[in-house]
């Protein structure tokens, strides 16, 4: 039961961090959060694609590749919303909220860096 609680807390911390980062337009601490999710999801079956995309996201952030970041955030957001459908009760709502927050972040970054080539 404590593992479920810690995962729920992890989920809430991630949502809060993402919402604050989006509002403040920063990526502070994102690597730590991404590493934590990679570790968490690696312990569960069925999340290989998400783990691979998180690895790619970490690299894109390090490279400051805005287009790759918003593309990966959008993909991760979509996959997270789909995963929420398989979750139970309150956890499902939190996972869906995380997915929607990732999608919101992708749109913000897309706006900041532009969709096409740099002008």
Domain ranges of the chain: 2-113
What's the confidence (pLDDT) of residue 95?
A: 85
What's the confidence (pLDDT) of residue 116?
A: 59
Q: Write down the pTM of the prediction.
A: 0.75
CA angle at 82 for the pair 90 and 70, rounded to the nearest 5°:
110
What's the confidence (pLDDT) of residue 58?
A: 87
Q: Quote the CA–CA distance of 89 and 13 in Å, as a whole number.
A: 19
What's the confidence (pLDDT) of residue 41?
A: 84
CB 33: neighbour CB atoms within 10 A?
A: 19
Q: Would you say 54 and 38 are in contact if contact means Cβ atoms under 8 Å apart? A: yes
What's the confidence (pLDDT) of residue 52?
A: 94
The mean pLDDT values, 10 residues at a time, for the chain of 119 residues are 63 71 57 82 84 91 87 94 84 86 88 66
What's the confidence (pLDDT) of residue 1?
A: 44
b/e sequence 87-105, b meaning 16+ C-beta within 10 Å: eeeeeeebbbbbbebbbeb
């Amino acid at each position: 039961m404590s593992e479920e609680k810690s995962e729920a807390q992890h989920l809430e911390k991630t949502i809060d961090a993402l919402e604050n980062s989006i509002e403040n337009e920063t990526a502070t601490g994102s690597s730590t959060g991404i590493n934590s999710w990679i570790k968490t999801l690696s312990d569960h079956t069925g999340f290989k694609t998400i783990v691979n995309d998180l690895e790619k996201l970490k690299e894109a952030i390090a490279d400051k590749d805005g287009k790759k970041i918003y593309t990966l955030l959008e993909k991760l957001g979509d996959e997270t919303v789909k995963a929420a459908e398989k979750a139970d009760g309150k956890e499902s709502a939190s996972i869906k909220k995380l997915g929607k927050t990732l999608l919101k972040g992708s749109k913000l970054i897309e706006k900041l860096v532009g969709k096409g080539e740099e002008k």
